[in-house]
Chains A and B, each alone.
Chain A
Amino acid sequence: MTPVTPVTPAVPAVPAASAARPGRRRLRGWPVTLVLAAVTGLSIAPFYWLVVSATLTDNEIFSWPPHLLPGSHLGENLRHLQDRVGLGRVVLNSLLVSGIQTVGALVVALLAGYAFAKFRFRGRTVLFAVLLSTLVVPDQVMLVPLFKMMMSFGLLDSYQALILPGLCVPFAIFLMRQALSSMPDELLDAARVDGAGELRVLFGVVVPVMRPVLAALGIFLFLGSWNNFVWPLIALRSPEMHTMPVALATLQGMKTNTDYGPILAGTALSTLPMMVLFLVLQRQFISGLLAGATKG
């Protein structure tokens, strides 16, 4: 198989045959579409409730039967949210932390994954096993030592305290290695024969081909960072530094002393950047391969 051959995004239908019978082809698409629509419906229904609830008063949220259409309380909920947590600053913090962390972790994982997948070196297996094994250590036990360490670095309550621990992500390295090991060596060797240095090979040849994987991984890393709660809660002190989940947690009080409207409005709001990112990046992992492979 020739690695540079463009790969079409779709699972094949014989082009000639399908072109000849466009009507039947369209018909055949409907069952799959319907099934997907049903699954999507199930996925979205709870989410729809979230969005509707963001526009309701607390009492409306807790009423039965549930409200199916948006109410008129969105502005009020958002204003409450703004008063209590300062939305702009919080969203900015979250974007900054998640953005830097995602890009950083992608680079770290790409470099490490490339090393593991395409080089033989002393300690390779051991290093990989050690990295991978920490994937299974529950995060909760690392909180206290990590907290002490950040304290002694004088980094508590800083962006670095949030970003640094999230730059080496074993799962990302694992994914990059898996993806890169299925990439044909011939492609790399061709570039090396042309005299390209390793970084040139990596960013000129590997990255374009790996764009779908990088895009998908980027979404996951961003998602993980965006929703990260416990560590930022512990590591931050000033409200000006709060990220979205930490800020939303401050809206929770004892027992019933909680206004759910603003919390749900905040939650709905905080999913927006993720969706935008997904919409932007999905193009990459759906059709990106085609462009990448030909360019490489």
Chain B
Amino acid sequence: MSHLTRRELLRASGAGLLALSAGGALSACGGSNGTGSSGGDAATGTITVWSWTSAADALRGVVPLFEKDNPGIKVDVQDVGNPAIWDKITVGLAAGGQGLADVLHIGCDYLPGYLEKFPNGLADLSALGADAHKDKFAPGLWPVVTDKSGRARALPWEVNAQGFFYRKDMFDKAGLDPTTFATWDDVVAAAGAFKAANPGVGLVGINKTGTPGPDTDFLQSLMQQQGAFFFDLQGDITLTSPECVRALTLVKRLDEAGLLIETPGATAWRAQIKDSKLGAGPQPSWAAHFIETKFPELSGNWRLTRPPAVTPGGKRTALVNSTHLAVASSSPRRAAAWKFVEYALTRPDAVNAMFKAGSVFPALTAAYQDPVYNEPSAYYGGQPVLKTFTELLSEGGDATNYSGDFARALKLVSDAQAKVLTKGADPADALQEAAKQLAQQTGRKIK
């Protein structure tokens, strides 16, 4: 009987395993085979694009036109989801570019990190002719997509300028007109009147503790309006600059004036808008579409104006975020991939088709000629709400250097803001401390 043992064993253990590993032919391999990390410059074939949700929808809208104009190239847009896409791109880059899609949709917060830490991960688009489009995008964006030696590694697609959304009904009740606010000081000065007419309502919702996740967009926009940021263009730390201190001090003053309300996360923000707990929103351009579609019951109450300046006569524009399309160096079809990127992002008709399909606000300034940006919006009381943004973008913002250490800096700045808002810390001290730690962790100079 016992001679059966081994055979039985083999059958049970080995066979199952063999069946599994030999079953390679059964797998539905989606074209990942044979992708070497060295890449190639084929101008035809099927290219894969990684993006997320509505942006992926928008890109799909361009594909039929592109495929018609470029026989021999097929485009497969895959919706990976965000933040899932970052883990996927990061692992691919860390594995030497293996297994990445041909075209990658990357945000301004990750792009500089990828450029700095994986210098050969993204294809040099300047070599493919990207520099010809250099001046076509909203001023301030080009430095974001170029590497240290000035080569373009991505093309700007979406850009969000900061706008000042407000509830007209609430401000009317207080006898105030936000379009007359020249600086944020005017906003602070109006706090008493606004609060008296609208008890319990705030103007800016901030996640004061930075949990979960940093909420420093507003603070960043105040820095950007002054042409400042965490880093200067050389990559030195500038958190202790007068501009940065002024920005954080302003946040603190708004809080002390009772205009800042605790908004723990995006879901809470939605609830506060819905329950009319927020009378304004310094929010980027995507909010125009968002507020309109998510809160139909508030139709007619919302208006938009330019954000007040930080200092008298100062800039009103801040490019709070942008996203870009890059080509993976490992792509065997870099030329074809570039063709698609160029087609999708540098032609006003394509860019506007994407804006209409997925409300991705374009960085391409020529696109703003389209009548859609001047159309009055019934939801915003007949105001041509998008026009405010195209004007701001045409003026342009100052270039922002996110740097390869943006993630570390963001965490420290968020901690600093939390200390100021929840523990009453002095803004200058908090930023000093953050700058010191950042210098320690990254080896960068404090300027």
Query: For window 152-188 of chain A, which residues contact chain B by CB distance below 8 Å?
Result: 154-161, 163-164, 167
Contact A144 B95 (CB under 8 A): yes
A100 to chain B: closest residue by CB = B20
B33 nearest CB neighbor, chain A only: A154
What's the dominant secondary structure at chain B's contact region? helix
B27 interface hit (Cβ, 8 Å): yes
Cross-chain contact B87 with A157 (CB below 8 angstroms): no
CA distance A43 to B92 in the complex (A): 39
B30 to A64, Cβ gap below 8 A?
Answer: no
Would you call B88 and A154 a contact (CB within 8 A)?
Answer: no
Pairwise interchain contact A160-B24, C-beta atoms closer than 8 A: yes
CA distance A156 to B98 in the complex (A): 11
Q: How far is the CA of A237 from the CA of B35 in the complex (A)?
A: 13
Q: B271 near A249 (CB under 8 angstroms)?
A: no
The one of A111, A151, A252 that contacts B95, using a Cβ cutoff of 8 Å: A151
CB-defined contacts of B4 to chain A, threshold 8 Å: 197, 199-200
Main secondary structure on A side of the interface with B: helix
Is B98 within 8 A of A234, CB to CB?
no
Contacting pair A250 B80 (CB below 8 A): yes
Interface stretch of the complex, out of B47-55, B120-128, B381-389 = B47-55
CA distance A230 to B95 in the complex (A): 16
Looking at the assembled complex, report how far the CB atom of B88 sits from the nearest CB atom of chain A, in whole angstroms.
6
Q: Which of B76-119 contact A (CB under 8 A)?
A: 78-84, 87-88, 91-92, 94-96, 98-99, 101, 107
**Cα of A104 to Cα of B19 in the assembled complex, Å:** 12
Name the CB-closest residue of A to B5. A197
A230/B274 in contact, CB under 8 A: no
Question: Is A111 within 8 A of B28, CB to CB?
Answer: no
Q: Can you name the residue of chain A whose Cβ is closest to the Cβ of B291?
A: A256
Nearest CB of A to B20, in Å: 6
Q: How far, in whole Å, are A155 and B87 apart by their CA atoms in the complex?
A: 19
Partner of A151, one of B8, B99, B294: B99
Give the segment of A55-63, A123-131, A268-276 that binds chain B: A55-63
Minimal beta-carbon separation of A235 from chain B (angstroms):
9
The answer for the CA separation of A239 and B83 in the assembled complex, in Å, is 17
- B5 in contact with A198 (CB, 8 Å): yes
**Contact B53 A258, beta carbon cutoff 8 Å:** yes
The reply to whether A197 and B30 contact each other, CB–CB distance below 8 Å, is no
Least CB distance, B93 to chain A, in whole angstroms: 10
| Other contacts beyond A147-B99, A148-B95: 10, CB < 8 A | A59-B270, A62-B271, A147-B95, A151-B95, A151-B98, A158-B24, A160-B20, A163-B20, A230-B87, A254-B107
